[in-house]
Amino acid sequence: MALSGPWLTPGSYGIMSQPGGGVCMIEEEKANWLSRYLEGMAVQGLVDITELILVSYKNLGMTDMEAVILMHLWHFHRRNNLFPSPQELQEVMAADAGTIRSAIAGLIEKKLLVVKSRVNQNTGKAESRYSFARLFALLAATWSREQPEDPPIAQVMRTVEKEFGRPLSPMEVEQIAKWCGQQRLAPELVLEAVRRTVLQGVYNFRYIDSILQQWVKNNVRTLAEVAIFEERHPRSRPRNHGRQGRQPETKEKEAVIKDKYEDVYMT
């Protein structure tokens, strides 16, 4: 994976250094959704974070030991061990626990790793975990340089965020990555399910998923196949009930929403 051009450093969140010493600001909104998008793709195994760390850790101010430990921490994270001890890391490394502990402290000091705590609702005890959000924010700028200007999955993310009127949660980002990545659903098919969800006034990922899984079950993979399927099975067409107490969407509003999504399909 060849990388070239500007890099982010830990102290310049949102700023990219240009060759020749100039700088340009990354729009905060774009940096945020790119970070969430990259994390969702990484959790689904669609992006190799360890490779990104390998090619960028020097520019991010990490030592060799810190980079190796960070990759091991991500490995544990993907296996749902969110706060492995130095002793656990020692079992898979050639370093002793003291060296590992010092390297983790260095990552925290450089703000490449953050320790967060929350109370377990079942046990009532505080639990700690490592957060990679800051790291993803920095890696996203590097990673995005090799991607299309507006990746299709990122386009879906931004459309859903706009329609729902809020940022997506990590689980929702992972769900979109699963639809477009693991299940290989076309972005325009996902956006059609989102459009129908908005028209129903549900604003719920389960509802989007139920629409998509019905299409998958019936081997519907394109918008043209959706039209054919619903023509053959009229009962499968969405009924505009909306939330209780809400008026049905007007034809004019439905047309506006349809036109807006068609603009997305064509880009």
User: Tens digits of per-residue pLDDT, 155-200?
Assistant: 888 899 899 998 888 789 889 988 988 888 999 999 999 999 999 9
**pLDDT (0 to 100) of residue 73:** 97
Mean pLDDT throughout 151-157? 81
Residue 14's pLDDT is what?
36
β-pairing verdict for 126-131 and 114-119: antiparallel
| pLDDT above 60: residue 3 | no
Confidence grade of residue 253 (pLDDT, cut at 50, 70, 90): very low
User: Do residues 146 and 3 lie in contact, with contact meaning Cβ atoms separated by under 8 Å?
Assistant: yes
Domains 15-144 and 152-266 alike in fold: yes
Does 27 have pLDDT greater than 60? no
User: Each residue of 7-23: pLDDT tens digit?
Assistant: 333 433 333 333 333 33
Given a contact cutoff of 8 angstroms between Cβ atoms, the answer to whether 180 and 156 are in contact is yes
- Residue-level pLDDT at 2: 35
Q: What percentage of the chain reaches a pLDDT higher than 90? A: 47
CATH topology of domain 152-266: Arc Repressor Mutant, subunit A (1.10.10)
Structure tokens at 94: 């050639």
The yes/no answer on whether domain 15-144 falls in CATH 3.40.50.720 is: no
List the chain domain ranges.
15-144, 152-266
